Amino acid sequence: MKHIFRSVVLALATGSLLSLTGGATAQEVKERNIKFAFANTDDSAHGAGARKFAQVVAQKSGGKLKIKLYPGGTLGGEAVVASSMQGGTIEMSMMGPGLLTGMDKEFGIFDTPFLFDDFKEVDAALDGPVGRKLLDKLPAKGLVGLSYWDHGFRIVTNSKRPITKVEDIAGLKIRVQQIPVFIDTFNTLGANAVPMPFPELYSALETKAVDGQENPFVTAEVTKLYEVQKYATATRHAYSPLLVMASKKFWDQLSRDEQKLLLDAAEEVKPYQRQVSRDMDAKAVDALKAKGVAVVELSAQERARMRDRLKPVIEKHKQGLGETGRDMTAEIERIRTAK
C-alpha cells in the first residue's frame, strides 16, 4: 500500500504524462483546436507523421481534439516556434534537439558527431532511460516531451564539387543549424560554416549565399534542393531525432486523460513515422540521382578520417554535457556489446 501511495504522489509531483485513471472517455475530453507547427514540408516524413498523429488523435478523442497542421515553417522557424510554445500561442511542434541546447546544454548530446553507428543503436538509446531522462527536463523549460520520432542521419550536399575525402570540404560555405557544435564541426573540417534558420535555406542556396548544407537525404529531396545542388555525400556525420513536444502552458490546461491520449497517440505513431522516414530517406537517394545529383557513399576509411579530425570538437563538446553525456556514452557501449 505504501508503494502504491508513493507512486501516486510521485506521478502528481512530477507532472507524469501517464494517466492514473486509464483510458479517456468522451465526457473527459473537451473540444480543442491544437496548432501543430513544424519546419519541414507536408510531404516529408515529418508531415506523414504529423498527419497520422492528427488522425489517431481524432479517432481516440471522438473528433474532439482537432490537430491543425502548419508545415513548412509557416508559423516561423524552429526558434520562433519554440518560443511561441513556451508562451502558449502554439500548442505543439516537432523539431530536432539542437535548439533545445540553449535551454539545457545536455540536449547537445544528439549533436555529437558520429555518436551513433546505425538505427538499432538510435532506437535503443532514445527509447531507453537516458532518452526518457532528457524528455523529463523539458517541463522546467516550458515544454513537454511526448516522443522521439525520426529525422535521420545527416549528409552533405553542395553545388561546387563531389566530396569523396575530407579535404574536399575545405572552403565550401555550408549552411548549418544555429548550434555551436555544428559550426565547430564544419569549420574544423575546413568549411566556412554559415548558421541560418531552415526556412531560409533554399533561397540562400539559390542565390549562392551558401554552397551547400547538411541534412538527411530525404530533406534534400522533398525540399527540392536538387534544383540548386549538384552533389551529395553520405557522410552520416550526425543523427537527428525529432522531439514531439507540447507547450506546457497548453498541457497544464488538459485533463489527465487528454494528456494520456496525446502521449499515447505520439507513441503509437512513432514506429510508423520512423519507418516512413527511413524508407523515404532510402528512396530519396535514387530520386536525387534521377534528378541529376551525383551521390557519393563516403568510404569507411574517409569517415574514420573525418571522425579523427573531429576528435577535438567531440571532446570539447562532451565536456559540457555533464551526466547525460556520460550516461548516453555508456548506454551506447552497452547496446553495442549486446549486438
Residue 3: alpha-carbon gap to chain centroid: 36
Give the pLDDT of residue 198. Answer: 87
Instruction: Give me the percent of the chain exceeding a pLDDT of 90.
Output: 74
Task: Give 322 or 160, the one with higher predicted confidence.
Answer: 160
Residue corresponding to grid cell 547537445: 108
Confidence of residue 43 (pLDDT cuts 50, 70, 90): confident
- Would you call 27 helix, strand, or coil by DSSP? helix
pLDDT digits (tens, 9 = 90+) for 112-127: 999 998 999 999 999 9
Supply 131's cell numbers: 532518452
Summary mean pLDDT of the chain: 90
Can you name the residues that pair with 143 across neighbouring β-strands?
Answer: 247
Mean pLDDT of the region 62-75: 96
Confidence of residue 57 (pLDDT cuts 50, 70, 90): very high
Give the pLDDT of residue 229. Answer: 98
pLDDT digits (tens, 9 = 90+) for 212-260: 999 999 889 988 999 999 999 999 999 989 999 999 999 999 999 999 9
Largest CA distance in the chain: 68
What is the rounded (10 degree) CA torsion for 99, 100, 103, 106?
-120
CA-wise closest residue to 67 among 93, 97, 42, 98: 93
What's the sign of the alpha-carbon dihedral 330, 301, 319, 133? negative
DSSP assignment, residue 338?
H
Domains and CATH numbers, the chain: 30-103+120-151+241-282 (3.40.190.170), 155-238+283-338 (3.40.190.170)
Q: Is the pLDDT of residue 106 over 80?
A: yes
User: Is the CB of residue 169 less than 8 Å from the CB of residue 188?
Assistant: no
- Would you call 259 helix, strand, or coil by DSSP? helix
Give the pLDDT of residue 12. Answer: 43
User: Is the CB of residue 230 less than 8 Å from the CB of residue 292?
Assistant: yes
Q: Is the pLDDT of residue 270 over 70?
A: yes
Q: Is the pLDDT of residue 23 over 60?
A: no
Helix (H) or strand (E) holding 249: helix 248-251
Give the pLDDT of residue 27. Answer: 55
Residue type, 39: A
pLDDT digits (tens, 9 = 90+) for 273-314: 999 999 998 999 999 999 999 999 998 899 889 999 999 999
Residue 25: alpha-carbon gap to chain centroid: 32
Give the pLDDT of residue 44. Answer: 87
Confidence of residue 102 (pLDDT cuts 50, 70, 90): confident
Task: Give 98 or 39, the one with higher predicted confidence.
Answer: 39
Name the strands in the sheet holding 92-95, side by side, starting at the edge strand that comes first in the sequence: 65-70, 32-37, 92-95, 239-247, 143-153
